[in-house]
Structure 1
């Protein structure tokens, strides 16, 4: 039996009704993704995309009060959700699940039909699949130069949407294999501060829907899509043996739930940076210099090339800059959405020039996202601060009120009336079957 067949058998064995705690957590992650997308439609690098004219259709474009066709809705909403670097991450697999899965299942449900409960179930199942794809090759996609979310996202998204379409075993095997033809998403955006990373999530969501359409139209896929040097893991993670690990990881689908370990983001920047910001925030005064110990495997994203990271050309490029984001915390006392608009702040650049880094072997990454900073002060004293893991994950989970608070804040930034935001939160979190139709109301207050 191939890894794809084994995975699909595990998916088909999943419970028809989610365990209550998984249902609750999945709803929170969906709410968080929606809030981030709404904020991005109003004040992010993809806001022009959200406002662009397009054909009308049944599928909501977040933050606009309008609808379009499913493929375009998935593309736009995925891009919006990922564009602020404010969307959730499963740290061990390094997957931004909601930015691909939420737009895919929402568009499929609004176009094809599906209850709110079915949306939540397929969303949660997609997360479980995506996490296992990442855990099979820990950080392997990133080392090979691909974003794991856009490489594996089409496969997990296609299976999630296939569940909504009530695909049988043969169709699900086909759809995961066909979806692998859409895998993409490289890290070249880092070299010029481009915003194309956001579109990688949107393209992944769109690809999931396209794969389902193709299979419904008679296109088939290879059941051994994961195996060999030319299989999915061999190509995108340089790790053909990951197919065997995926088989093992598929054994506990339905009994071992990884979604509760996915971390919400409290800052609108790369998740690797969060524990470093937290460490600097604990200092009782501004340091003169900072030395950061960066977990090996993260440096290509947040530290290399260091001279460019210290002097980003645009503020939005700095979402992946360790020295600039830490300098924001020192100079401004926090890191917010507003910090990544416009031109870089000269005072922040000056502080970034006094920050250095060194590699940290054996940090525990990617199982945890840790940070260590050594701060040197003007009087010659120093202090070392270590953060063992990122805020918002399994070891330091957020409560419901904090997730709702972030959602309200994002809606407020988009000009959504507080009462409307509260009604949508109740519709998604408190009803027996989430009311997906409520999302269309999240628009700027008149």
Structure 2
């Protein structure tokens, strides 16, 4: 007898686990990650890079069961998931599991919310599907390390599409065969390339939203009778071979399913506290330490940033473009500009990327160069080293062993809640922000997503109103 295809094994385990309670630590982590995702998505509605999603939503939110963040009008589930996923990812402020390089919540939160609203699912079921989706996506990333990125793809988008399909199938009441078919169908919709880096275009933000959109559509098509390959994960044209160039990735992922439900990775997923590429965060921290040590931007003669070689294609290359990015948004992936902004402006926040970098920031970026970090622990840890020489000949060197918010330097729940309140307050009045937080805290006992839906559908207040 032939071995059971990996997708069928996965679906069977997922369907079994979603009917069991989550460990308390995992449930609390899932709530915080869901809350964080909603906050960054709401913040994006007040940002220039989120504006295309609001405009698109205005044309599709013509009624439907699912919520578009910050809008009173409902929408079809697949369209709401597309918009919300795009909003959540557009500021580069959403969470990451660093070892797998997976932006889990940006694809999984819009999927479970839209599919859960459409199905009238209980809050506990939605939360469990969200946590188990995270566990699945993390294992996909771990199975091939940085293999997806090496070929110019995000596991968030290409793997997230398959995970979203499985989650949506379960929430919609699909059978095992239909759920397996949904995973196979979703493979044909997987996408999300890194060519955006050539001009800093904003399309990367659509990657997780598209994955959620395709996943929900794949589940609906499977229930309608469309079929898909059962070997979508390990097949010769499956996920790992096609998008990571990895002959062994499918088998490695299958092996990682052996501890699915007993080993939990979600509590170790990282929260981000700067709205830019996660690889930049330890360098921003290092620049902050230089500033604390009394180094002023106009005193710097030279900065040398030592970065893990496998991050260079994202934050260092081509260096001339990174030193002078074409837009504020493009600077979210610029190592020299992020470091310079911290030293020149004293902060790297949402406002830092709403407009092109200032002449002072660009001048310091022009005095910055990069070189590979000798030995690194990427992607398990996001490390950074900065060498600084001032005009009077003083030398300063700073090293960050891992980024704040990662498992080795975890954020507190209050850190995450404070971030949520500030972000959601950019779009919603204080009472709505409090309602969302309370609804997420109580989601495990909620008979439906009604309380959360009501809070999320609060219209944007007049300018000047904020919960921050």
Q: 1:426 aligns with which of 432, 438, 452?
A: 438
Query: Deviations for 1:303-330, whole angstroms, at most 9, x for unmatched residues?
Result: 0000000001111110000001111001
The aligned residue for residue 178 of structure 2 is: 171
Q: 2:13 aligns with which of 2, 10, 15?
A: 10
The aligned residue for residue 151 of structure 2 is: 144
SS at match of 2:102: coil
The aligned residue for residue 20 of structure 1 is: 24
User: 2:82 aligned with 1:75, yes or no?
Assistant: yes
Q: Is the 8 A contact 1:372 1:385 kept in 2?
A: yes
Q: Is the 8 A contact 1:421 1:442 kept in 2?
A: no
SS at match of 2:231: coil
The aligned residue for residue 128 of structure 1 is: 135
The aligned residue for residue 461 of structure 2 is: 445
Distance 2:264 2:459 in 1: 34
Distance 1:268 1:4 in 2: 35
SS at match of 1:421: helix
The aligned residue for residue 340 of structure 1 is: 353
Deviation of the 1:67 alpha carbon = 1.5
Distance 2:9 2:457 in 1: 41
Query: Which structure 1 residue ranges, 5 or more long, are not aligned?
Result: none
The aligned residue for residue 219 of structure 1 is: 226
Deviation of the 1:49 alpha carbon = 2.4
User: 2:53 aligned with 1:49, yes or no?
Assistant: yes
SS at match of 2:45: helix
Distance 1:440 1:185 in 2: 28
Cα gap change, 1:76 to 1:432, in 2 (>3 Å): closer
What is the TM-score with the length of structure 2 in the denominator? 0.92
Q: Is the 8 A contact 2:435 2:455 kept in 1?
A: no
Deviation of the 1:395 alpha carbon = 1.2
What is the TM-score with the length of structure 1 in the denominator? 0.96
**Equivalent residues in 2 for 1:62-211, closer than 5 Å:** 62-211=69-218
Query: Deviations for 1:272-321, whole angstroms, at most 9, x for unmatched residues?
Result: 00011001101122233211111021100000000000001111110000
The aligned residue for residue 382 of structure 2 is: 369
Deviation of the 1:361 alpha carbon = 4.5
Query: Deviations for 1:230-276, whole angstroms, at most 9, x for unmatched residues?
Result: 22111100002011111110000110001111111100000000011
Cα gap change, 1:399 to 1:5, in 2 (>3 Å): same
Deviation of the 1:9 alpha carbon = 3.2
Distance 1:276 1:236 in 2: 29
Q: 1:278 aligns with which of 263, 282, 285?
A: 285
User: 2:365 aligned with 1:352, yes or no?
Assistant: yes
CA RMSD of aligned residues (A): 1.5
Deviation of the 1:359 alpha carbon = 1.3
The aligned residue for residue 304 of structure 2 is: 291
The aligned residue for residue 247 of structure 1 is: 254
Query: Deviations for 1:164-202, whole angstroms, at most 9, x for unmatched residues?
Result: 123333222222111111111000000011100001111
Cα gap change, 1:376 to 1:438, in 2 (>3 Å): farther
Distance 1:343 1:387 in 2: 27
Distance 1:86 1:136 in 2: 25
Deviation of the 1:209 alpha carbon = 0.2
Q: Is the 8 A contact 1:277 1:326 kept in 2?
A: yes
Q: Is the 8 A contact 2:184 2:230 kept in 1?
A: yes
Number of corresponding residues = 445
Distance 2:205 2:47 in 1: 14
Distance 1:424 1:157 in 2: 23
Q: Is the 8 A contact 2:435 2:452 kept in 1?
A: no
Moved over 3 A (4+): none
Q: 1:405 aligns with which of 408, 413, 418?
A: 418
SS at match of 1:394: coil
Q: Is the 8 A contact 1:70 1:111 kept in 2?
A: yes
**After the TM superposition, which of the residue ranges 157-166 and 208-217 deviates more from structure 2?**
157-166
Query: Which structure 2 residue ranges, 5 or more long, are not aligned?
Result: 463-468
SS at match of 1:366: coil
Query: Deviations for 1:116-174, whole angstroms, at most 9, x for unmatched residues?
Result: 11111111111011111111110111001112211111111111222212333322222
Distance 2:312 2:458 in 1: 38
